[in-house]
Amino acid sequence: MPNSQITIKDIAKALNVSVSTVSRALNDSPDLSGATKQQVQEYARQHHYKPNLLALSMKKRESKTIGVIVPQIIHHFFSSVLEGMMDVAEREGFNVLLFRSRDSFEKEQHSVQQLISSQVCGVLTSIAKETTHYEHFQELVDNNIPVVFFDRICVDIPSNRVVIDDYAGALAATEYLIKTGCHRIAFFCSPLNLEISKNRRGGYLDALSKHGIPVDKDLIKICDNYDEAIPVATEMLQSENRPDAFFAVNDETALGILHATKHLHFKIPEEISICGFTDGFAAIASDPQLTTVGQSGQDVGRSAMELLVEKIRHKGDQPLIKNKIIKTKLIVRETTR
């Protein structure tokens, strides 16, 4: 442990001055002679003196550390969110303590306990896929630690939220597929305990309904990754009543569908249209390039951090819950007509 670090007391002893003199010299106080100040500052520099943030935190009963829990890190959306959070944290002078749930309820609970014990001044989180109970988040609120949920929010806890406009994004994508002549539109989504899945499904269903297209339950699958999408899409494409379009909740799934569709030699987009959701680098690297609903993870991260910092600085002032909605944008490329 870094116990070789020198303290203000050590400096005072070495230079035979008082602790308060050292403290004032280090704070560049005007009521001290230039010579003493210089002597103390020089000694501190030479001996690598650093203010002890741990001790300062204890003294002020506050920390400048914000806890972040993400489901995973190797993931275009969540790494973009983290990048956006860091932009604001750096600008506002906060440090980030990082936790990862790996979509496990148990790990998420453990992370929350660690964050309470670490006395972070606020928490940003997107809930795990497994999570259906929220008592651990309530404990943050009970401990007077502000929480902002982003993307995968928890509606049962009174707190600020930053969400992607999932409903509008899914509605726009599905309507675009309908307007370009598709009628049997398959929908690949994540488990429905997540609000984002419910909202994206809502947008899909409302677009069908608006255009008088009946819902075919066989076209709706719980499938949200590249590897699973390949066999599921292959089976659908080989069925008698095959779809003429696919809309997937993320780009990885859409690219799995694209792979299966190309493998079966269907013409894209003439016979089959495909639309994803995210707009990561892989959407541009794919051939044909993927049409997708663009969502800015960095905007989500920045907004969530900004809402949290505001909440930390004005504790008590704001009983209102703020919801920030980040707009999506349909990016038409080559996998749709």
Among 86, 205, 213, 325, contact with a copy of itself (rule: CB under 8 A): 86
| Complex with a copy of itself: residue 6 or 220, whichever CB lies closer | 6
Part in contact with a copy of itself (CB under 8 A); list of ranges 82-90, 158-166, 190-198, 240-248: 82-90
| Complex with a copy of itself: residue 121 or 185, whichever CB lies closer | 121
Between residue 150 and residue 209, which ones bind a copy of itself under the rule CB under 8 A? none
The region that residue 144 occupies, defined by phi over 0 for left and psi between -120 and 50 for alpha, beta otherwise, is left
Angle value at C-alpha 269, between 265 and 271, nearest 5 degrees? 60
Rounded to the nearest whole angstrom, what is the least distance from the CB of residue 81 to a copy of itself in the complex? 9
| Complex with a copy of itself: residue 40 or 230, whichever CB lies closer | 230
Rounded to the nearest whole angstrom, what is the least distance from the CB of residue 301 to a copy of itself in the complex? 10
| Complex with a copy of itself: residue 172 or 257, whichever CB lies closer | 257
Among 226, 266, 299, 310, contact with a copy of itself (rule: CB under 8 A): 226
Question: Which helix (H) or strand (E) segment is 70 a member of?
Answer: strand 65-70
7/12 Cα distance (integer angstroms): 9
Rounded to the nearest whole angstrom, what is the least distance from the CB of residue 120 to a copy of itself in the complex? 8
* CB-based burial, 204-238: b 16+ in 10 Å, e otherwise: bbebbeeeebeeeeebbbebbebebbbebbbebbe
97 touches a copy of itself by CB under 8 A: yes
| 111 bridge partner residues | none
Beta pairing, strands 245-248 & 273-278: parallel
Report the interhelical angle of 297-313 vs 76-92 (nearest 10°): 40
Helices (H), 158-266: 166-179, 195-210, 226-238, 251-263
116 touches a copy of itself by CB under 8 A: yes
- DSSP code of 269? T
Q: Which amino acid is at 206?
A: D
51 touches a copy of itself by CB under 8 A: yes
Question: Which helix (H) or strand (E) segment is 248 a member of?
Answer: strand 245-248
| Complex with a copy of itself: residue 58 or 222, whichever CB lies closer | 58
Rounded to the nearest whole angstrom, what is the least distance from the CB of residue 117 to a copy of itself in the complex? 4
3 state DSSP class of 29: coil
Among 14, 98, 155, 192, contact with a copy of itself (rule: CB under 8 A): 98
Among 16, 132, 144, 241, contact with a copy of itself (rule: CB under 8 A): 144
Part in contact with a copy of itself (CB under 8 A); list of ranges 139-147, 166-174, 204-212, 321-329: 139-147
226/251 Cα distance (integer angstroms): 8
254: closest CA among 328, 187, 176?
A: 187
Residues of this chain that bind a copy of itself (CB under 8 A): 1-5, 48, 50-55, 57-58, 60-63, 65, 68, 72-76, 79-80, 82-83, 86, 90, 95-100, 107, 113-114, 116-121, 139, 142-145, 226, 252, 255, 262, 281-282, 284-287, 297-298, 312, 315
